A and B are shown apart, each in its own frame.
Chain A
């Protein structure tokens, strides 16, 4: 069993839709949770990070962590074609960051 599981998609939505991306993780020791965005043939770039359970909002993006169920979510409001990318969830503890395999998202104009 992988430490971080993520539905690979692909996920295709119309412009303006609300997107929900989700991951589960297995190791309760992880304390930090992150979302990265990766455009084709580019390196991942950090979108958001949170510590412990709760919500964090940044513009159109909201990250949500539920440690009791080991569930991580990223919501994108008013999705744009420029949001088309692969989204990677990650968990971190003590120099050990584990990534999900990524969900490929396409936002159609």
Chain B
């Protein structure tokens, strides 16, 4: 049972480039989330989804877009990367939300 799988694990982008981070879960969870983690700031919610075909904005959505075309996948896109988006990105999923989240191992993104 793989849980939550994130790809890629590392990436270096130049300012203005675009990329997509992929999150896949095999637990049949309804809810999926994208967070970024920065030193001293903790985890901050970027976007989330409460089911296939749905997305919603979180605390820090600017500069990011998401899609959930299939229940098991949640994609995070950066259309024009900026140095301020250098961070560690975590995907998480949950069945109810109230039962806690299962996190992936993260994607370390550096924008130069």
Number of interface residues of B (CB under 8 A): 24
Q: Does B62 contact A (CB under 8 A)?
A: no
Report A's interface with B, CB cutoff 8 A.
Answer: 2, 4, 6, 8, 32, 34, 36, 41-46, 49, 51, 88, 92, 95-97, 99-102
* Interface of B (DSSP majority class): strand
* Interface of A (DSSP majority class): strand
Please, how many angstroms separate the alpha-carbon atoms of A92 and B50 in the complex? 15
Q: B90 contacts A43, CB within 8 Å?
A: yes
Q: Does B34 contact A (CB under 8 A)?
A: no
Report B's interface with A, CB cutoff 8 A.
Answer: 4, 31, 33, 40-45, 48, 50, 56, 90, 92, 97-106
Please, how many angstroms separate the alpha-carbon atoms of A51 and B99 in the complex? 10
For the complex formed, measure the closest distance between the CB of B32 and the CB atoms of chain A, giving whole angstroms. 11
